[in-house]
Structure 1
Amino acid sequence: MLITVDPASPVPPYEQVRGGLAERIGDGRLPVGTRLPTVRQFAAELGLAVNTVARAYRELESAGLLETRGRHGTFVAPGRDDAVDRLQRAAAGYAAEALRLGVAPDAALDLVRAALDAAHPAIFGANTATA
């Protein structure tokens, strides 16, 4: 099994699946080209609804971490540039720590936005003030 899902966690199951896979992709435990189980197979392994796993796969595909090749399956997508890869690993580590600490996804994102605003107020401050 690639990951485990904690049914008692306040983090929704799809987010646990998404975060677990993103972390493993980011740190290289799931290298580029690795074929993932089908949505149905993975859902059965995890004891989740098919739609839960499908949502996690869709979000990872939207983020560029996975690619679906029709009937051939879903694979870890080819690497991006090195800066994006390093940032992905850092984000995966941050997400794992937020999950471990029980911080809600929205609160974790707010902390990142605040850190970006503090690091680059002239660039990010104007954007987040209107959002």
Structure 2
Amino acid sequence: MPDTSFPGAWSVDAEGSAPPFEQLRARVLDLVTSGDLPAGFRLPPVRTLAEQLGLAANTVARAYKELEADGIVETHGRGGTLVSAQGDAARRAAQQAAAEYAAKTRSLGITEADALELARTALSLR
């Protein structure tokens, strides 16, 4: 059976501002975009991961469903949930969003320095 543990230590912050499913979704996305979870990597089954993280199975299932909707993972029934070969979809979507942001700020007459500061501020609000 392949190793399905996440690289590095990780846990859900019950007191965090982001809901647990979003913390999990963001963590998986970070690991995929960094290359720590390569295409084809099998994520732990929902119940297994829920138990490991002390979460409800529905919480993990919601995170997986959102990742699947974004093209980051693929669910293959009994074959499990795998990191999609299209895992770069997140990066492409981010590049598209960045291009749209740049176009919008230019059309509003916002300077590049101000637009970058606004983006940095937004990125730091997690």
Q: Which has the higher contact order (CA 8 A, sep 6+)?
A: 1
**Whole-Å separation in 2 of the counterparts to 1:24 and 1:120:** 35
| Aligned residue type for 1:62 | A
Q: Root-mean-square deviation (CA), in Å?
A: 3.0
Q: Give the 5 Å matches for 1:10-89.
A: 10-79=17-86, 84=89, 86-87=91-92
**Whole-Å separation in 2 of the counterparts to 1:77 and 1:56:** 15
**Which residue of structure 1 lines up, in the alignment, with residue 105 of structure 2?**
118
Equivalent residue pairs, number: 100
**Whole-Å separation in 2 of the counterparts to 1:17 and 1:85:** 15
**Whole-Å separation in 1 of the counterparts to 2:84 and 2:44:** 15
Higher Rg of the two aligned structures: 2
> What are the Cα deviations for residues 58-90 of structure 1, in whole angstroms up to 9, with x where unaligned?
00000000001111111000136x7x4644687
* 1:119 Cα offset (Å): 4.4
Q: Secondary structure at the match of 1:36?
A: coil
Structure number with the higher helix fraction is 1
> With structure 1 as the length reference, what TM-score do the two structures score?
0.65
